[in-house]
Structure 1
Amino acid sequence: MDFNQLRYIVEIVETGSISKAASNLFISQPNLSNQITNLENEIGKNIFYRNNRGVTLTSYGVEVYHYAKSIVKQFEIIEDKLLTKSNENKIKIASFGSEVINFQFFEVCRRYNNENYEFELCESGVEESIEKVIQRDCDIGIIIYSEFQRKKLLQYLAAEELELQDLFIGQMKVHMSKNHEKSKMTILSKDDLQGLFHVKKTYLFKGMFSLNYEMEYLGIPDTNKTILANGNKTYNDALHNLPSFAVEIDWKCKKKIHSHLARIPYEGKRLDITCAMVKRKNEILKEELLFFINKLIESYS
Structure 2
Amino acid sequence: MDIKMMEYVVEIERCGSINKAAKNLYLSQPNLSNALKNLESELGYTLFVRKNSGIQLTNAGRIFLSSAKIIVSEMQKIHQIPRMFTEHKNISLSCTYYSVFMHEFLRFKKEISQEDIEDNFKETGLIQTIQDIIERHYRICLFYCFECNESKYQKIAKKYNLNMQCIASNIPLQVMVPQTHPISRKKSIDIADLPRYNLVNYQNFDFSDWLQILGLENDNRVLYVFDRGGLFDAVRESGYFSVIIKSHPDYSAQNGCVFLPLVGLKEQLKVFLLQENSYQMNDREHRFVQQLIHCMKDISANKSPKT
TM-score, structure 2 normalization: 0.69
- 3-state SS, counterpart of residue 204 of structure 2: helix
Q: How many aligned positions are there?
A: 274
The one-letter code matched in structure 1 to 2:144 is I
Unaligned 5+ runs, structure 1: 50-55
Indicate which of 8, 14, 18 corresponds to 2:18.
14
* Partner Cα separation in structure 2 for residue 10 and residue 273 of structure 1: 39
Identify the match of residue 233 of structure 2 among 230, 233, 237.
Answer: 237
| 1:154 aligned partner, one-letter code | Q
Deviation at 1:290, TM superposition (A): 0.5
Aligned pair in 2 of structure 1 residues 241, 195: CA closer, same or farther (>3 Å)?
farther
Q: Which residue of 1 aligns with 2:164?
A: 164
Out of 32, 35, 38, the residue aligned to residue 36 of structure 1 is: 38
Alignment of 1:15-94 (within 5 A): 36=38, 40=41, 43-45=43-45, 59=58, 62-63=61-62, 66=65, 70=69, 77=76, 89-94=89-94
Tell me the secondary structure at the aligned position of residue 277 of structure 1. strand
Code of the residue aligned with 1:197 in structure 2: it is N
2:289 is paired with a residue whose SS is helix
Return closer, same or farther for 1:297/1:257 CA change in 2, 3 Å cut-off: farther
Deviation at 1:93, TM superposition (A): 0.8
Q: Kindly indicate whether residue 187 of structure 2 is the aligned counterpart of residue 183 of structure 1.
A: no
Larger Rg: 1
Deviation at 1:4, TM superposition (A): 7.0
1:36 counterpart letter in structure 2? N
**Identity percentage of aligned residues:** 15
What is aligned with 1:144? Answer: 144
Residue 203 of structure 1 corresponds to 204
Q: What is the CA distance between 1:284 and its match in structure 2? A: 0.9
Q: Provide the residue aligned with 1:287 in structure 2.
A: 283
Alignment partner, residue 212 of structure 2: 213
3-state SS of paired residue (1:215): coil
> C-alpha distance in 1, partners of 2:191/2:220?
15
What does 1:104-119 align with in structure 2 at a 5 Å threshold? Answer: 104-110=104-110, 111-115=112-116, 117-119=117-119
Q: 2:292 aligns with which of 276, 279, 296?
A: 296
Residue 118 (structure 1) shift: 2.3
Q: Report if aligned partners of 1:171, 1:271 keep a CA contact under 8 Å in 2.
A: no
CA distance in 2, matches of 1:130, 1:7: 23
Letter in 2 for 1:258: Y
User: Structure 2 vs 1, CA of residues 195 and 243 (structure 1 numbering), >3 Å: closer, same or farther?
Assistant: farther
Q: Which residue of 2 aligns with 1:228?
A: 224
| Distance change >3 Å, CA 168–CA 57, structure 1 → 2 | closer
Aligned to 1:250: 246
Q: 1:248 offset after TM fit, Å?
A: 1.6
Deviations 1:183-222 (A, max 9, x none): 1212334786565321212233x276x2133111xxx587
In 2, Cα distance between equivalents of 1:138 and 1:291: 17
Question: Could you tell me how far 1:98 is from its partner in structure 2?
Answer: 2.2
Q: 1:108 to 1:228 in 2, by over 3 A?
A: same
Please list every run of 5 or more consecutive structure 2 residues that lacks an aligned counterpart in the other structure. Answer: 23-27, 50-54, 298-307
Matched letter for residue 213 of structure 1: Q
Paired position in structure 2 for 1:53? none
RMSD: 4.4
Residues 244-292 of structure 1 deviation map (CA, whole Å, 9 limit, x = unaligned): 32112225x6xx5332332223453444311111111142111111111
1:58, 1:240 → 2: CA distance?
48
Match of residue 259, structure 1, among 227, 252, 268: 252
Which letter maps to 2:174? K
Match of 1:277 in 2: 273
Q: 1:275 to 1:22 in 2, by over 3 A?
A: same
